[in-house]
Amino acid sequence: MSDNFIPPTAKIVHPDPEETAPKYTPPPPPKFSLRKCLKCSGYGKGLIVHNGLCRSCNLSTFPPLTDAELTDGWFSVSDIGDNFVLKKIVKLEEEYVPENRVMVGSRIKIHHVSRLLSNNEIYSTSRSEVDGKLVGGTDDEEEIIVGRGNVIKGLDIALLTMVLGETSLIKILSPSYSYLTNPSLTPKVKLGDSLLIEVKVTSCGDILPRFPTKEELEATKQSRKKEAEQELKENPPVPYQERRSIALKEKDLGNVQFSLGNYKSAKSHYDNGFINIFIHRDEWSHFVSDSEKELFNEVKSVLHLNRCCCRLKMGELDDALWDADKSIEFHGGDYVKGHFRRMQVYVGFLRRELEKEKGGKYWDVERAEGYAGRAREDWRRCGEILGGKVDGAIEKSYKVLEGLENVLAKVRRKYEKDQKKLYKDKIVKGLDENYRKLKIKEERRKKKEDEDEDEDMPELED
């Protein structure tokens, strides 16, 4: 008998499909960062709300709208799909256009009447009169920026579904959308109270940009840092020695233009020299060595000195004085050429003051004497640095200074003489004239008193 023989009376039992079917192995969870719904285990970016459920499962955890609410036109406007922020459109005054829609950041103006849903009591309003009763408002529209936390969360969410000219009723049924704690500014509202707000959008202005969060600011900072590092990697800074060489070449080109009398072009070359050796203050303080600083300061001193000469030739005395001061400063103080150029600048100031006097313009004697004194002081410093042996150019400038000082002394004497004459003519003579008038007035007064006294005396009898 075969092993495969089946008796006629045997009962055939078919195998269970679940036992014969291949086992299904679920796919591994996605490697990208997406949250998983705690109820249905579904994934989806932006679909999981704050309580860990997806929007679909989240709806089932909240009480649905009643038939009366649905019939009356109420619908949910919550951003997470619950039914704790309801809205009912009362009136639309304008035809809908996209430009009139309230957006995040919109500057809008509203009128509102805010009530407690339990007893219909008004706790805040912008209206002065509601249903024929005075309610304490001023009828001034309130201006807010939507989505910036200017109003409670539920109202902020509802406003984002409104348009210009729309009047709607808003129900807020959860403290998480109204007041999480007992509000001190609205004493009538207690924790857990449901609210009913009638709001009308009366104005909808431009959208204001949102101020970035700390995280966004930090991300921007890191992004700029990486861009700066990449820029530095692609365009490394020119070495200090090469930068000094470029500045000195610009100085030589400026000297050539100066010798040709092209002072403006020469100044442009000196300016380019400064551009090439410019170093930021932080880099100068932390990365430049002392020896490199000395070399840079030496180049700066020469550029300032040469640019001072250009500005002297162009009559820009104030700027020339600044360059002369900087030239002395970067050289360490004892710089003969710097003091000599500054002496020439002060001589130029003195000559300008004397030209004003000659032209009959307003000028200042004390200021001119100050310029002469400072020029003489720089000449003295040149002599000290050189040990008393000054060269021909310094002596020549000193002769010019002496000549201008002699002119200034003459003008000073003339000025003092004119002052004395003015004092005598205007002040002294004026005082004498006033004294004479007072004396005449006093004599007249005394004469009148004598005449009045004679009239009061009794007549003599015959």
**Interval 150-165: pLDDT, tens:** 888 889 999 988 889 8
> What is the per-residue pLDDT for 327?
94
3-state class of 52 per DSSP?
coil
Cα–Cα distance for residue pair 22/447, rounded to 1 Å: 147
> What is the per-residue pLDDT for 423?
63
> What is the per-residue pLDDT for 10?
47
Round the CA-based radius of gyration of the chain to a whole number and report it. Answer: 48
Angle at 433 between CA 428 and CA 436, to 5 degrees: 125
The dihedrals phi and psi of 8, each to the nearest 5 degrees, come to -60, -30
Residue 82 has pLDDT above 60, yes or no: yes
| Band of pLDDT at residue 317, cut at 50, 70 and 90 | very high
Question: pTM of the prediction?
Answer: 0.48
Maximum Cα–Cα distance across the chain: 204
**350, amino acid identity:** L
C-alpha distances out from residue 79 to 52, 59, 147, 158, 409, Å: 15, 12, 12, 9, 89
3-state class of 436 per DSSP?
helix
Cα–Cα distance for residue pair 177/34, rounded to 1 Å: 26
> What is the per-residue pLDDT for 45?
47
